[in-house]
């Protein structure tokens, strides 16, 4: 059951990330806002990841992204159960691993491919965050620092609260979801992770699923609900 719960958390995050990406590519992106400065290519990095819930449940793990936009999320619960989601953009394959069980499906990159989304000045819900985020490897972890990543605060259409970093293609590094869960990255290291990070382990048994998966910019996404929240530094 805990395996299933962890899998559902990852799966819902992927689907919500697709929803957010599609919404951006539609109504928001069509408005004539001035583009904010950001890297035009994917910035490769790795980070520790922690998810906490109002009921006290916690998951710890790792997130990494390569220069082609491939990304991997690994989470472990308190009982030691591990689940993994991978988007291998180069091979156009999405994997989900729960324990020793893996599934795979083709990824539909769409006509424009998998490119960083352009954020714009004047976007509804986006404001400059007045502090720096000391989240690099060896940093204090403070969200109210004078040195570190510059950031913006973004209130999602569903009422979630994100801190996003332009230097990392506006990657959300802290998210308070509308259901009360908090996702937070720390110990961020710039640079490409090993290519094997985006493949199942050697010898893994993989079940292929016929239906293609979408390609979100980031699998660790918002989950829609009805209760608003806000990041508390």
pLDDT of residue 215: 46
Contacts of 174 (CB under 8 A, 6+ apart): 133, 143, 162, 163, 182, 183, 184, 185, 231
With 60 as the cut, is the pLDDT of residue 228 above it?
A: no
Whether 229 maps to a domain, the answer reads no
More confident residue, 177 or 113: 177
The reported pLDDT for the residue numbered 23 is 45
- Decide if 222 is inside a domain: no
Q: At 210, is the pLDDT very low, low, confident or very high (cuts 50, 70, 90)? A: confident
The model's pLDDT over 19-57, given as tens digits with 9 standing for 90+, comes to 344 344 444 444 556 889 999 999 999 999 999 999 999
User: Is the pLDDT confidence value at 124 over 50?
Assistant: yes
Q: For the chain, what is the mean pLDDT? A: 81
β strands within 53-204, DSSP E? 58-65, 71-76, 82-88, 93-98, 101-106, 120-121, 126-128, 152-155, 161-165, 171-176, 182-190
- Asked if the model's pLDDT at residue 186 lies above 70, the reply is yes
- Which of 19-28, 165-174, 186-195 comes out lowest in average pLDDT? 19-28
Q: Is residue 230 part of a domain?
A: no
pLDDT category at 203 given cuts 50, 70, 90 is: confident
Does residue 218 form part of some domain? Answer: no
% the chain with pLDDT above 90: 62
Question: Is the pLDDT reported for residue 13 higher than 80?
Answer: no
> SS3 for 215?
coil
Take residue 28 and report the two structure tokens written for it. Answer: 């928001």
Can you give the pLDDT at residue 214? 54
Share of the chain above pLDDT 70, in %: 76
What are the phi and psi torsion angles at 133 (to 5°)? -110, 110
The reply to whether 232 falls in a domain is no
| Residue 105, domain member (yes or no) | yes
Q: In the prediction, which pLDDT does 74 show?
A: 95
User: Does the residue 178 lie in any domain?
Assistant: yes
Name the pLDDT band for 213 (thresholds 50, 70, 90): low
Number of structural domains found in the chain? 1
pLDDT tens-digit map of 65-83: 999 999 999 999 988 999 9
CATH number at residue 99: 2.50.20
Domain assignment present for 40: yes
What pLDDT score does 227 carry? 31
Q: Which residue segment(s) compose the domain that 68 sits in?
A: 2-208
pLDDT band with cut points at 50, 70 and 90 for residue 187:
very high
Q: How confident is the model at residue 111 (pLDDT cuts 50, 70, 90)?
A: confident
Q: Are 179 and 156 in contact (CB under 8 A)?
A: no
């Amino acid at each position: 059951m805990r395996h299933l719960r962890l899998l559902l958390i990852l799966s819902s995050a992927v689907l919500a990330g697709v929803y957010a990406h599609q919404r951006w590519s539609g109504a928001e992106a069509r408005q004539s806002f001035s583009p904010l400065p950001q890297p035009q290519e994917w910035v490769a990095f790795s980070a520790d990841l922690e998810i906490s819930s109002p009921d006290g449940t916690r998951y710890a793990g790792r997130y990494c992204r390569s220069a082609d936009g491939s990304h991997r999320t690994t989470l472990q619960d308190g009982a030691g159960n591990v689940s993994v989601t991978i988007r291998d953009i180069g091979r156009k394959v999405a994997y989900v691993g729960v324990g020793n069980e893996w599934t795979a499906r083709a990824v539909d990159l769409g006509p424009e491919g998998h490119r960083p989304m352009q954020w714009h000045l004047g976007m509804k819900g986006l404001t400059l965050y007045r502090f720096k985020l000391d989240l690099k490897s060896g940093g204090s972890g403070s969200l109210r620092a004078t040195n570190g990543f510059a950031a913006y605060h973004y209130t999602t259409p569903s009422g979630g609260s994100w801190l996003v970093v332009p230097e990392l293609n506006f990657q959300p590094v802290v998210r308070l979801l509308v259901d009360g869960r908090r996702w937070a990255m720390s110990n961020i290291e710039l640079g490409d992770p090993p290519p094997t990070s985006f493949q199942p382990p050697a010898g893994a048994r993989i079940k292929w699923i016929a239906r293609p998966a979408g390609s979100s910019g980031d699998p660790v996404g918002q989950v829609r609900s009805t209760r608003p929240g806000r990041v508390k530094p």
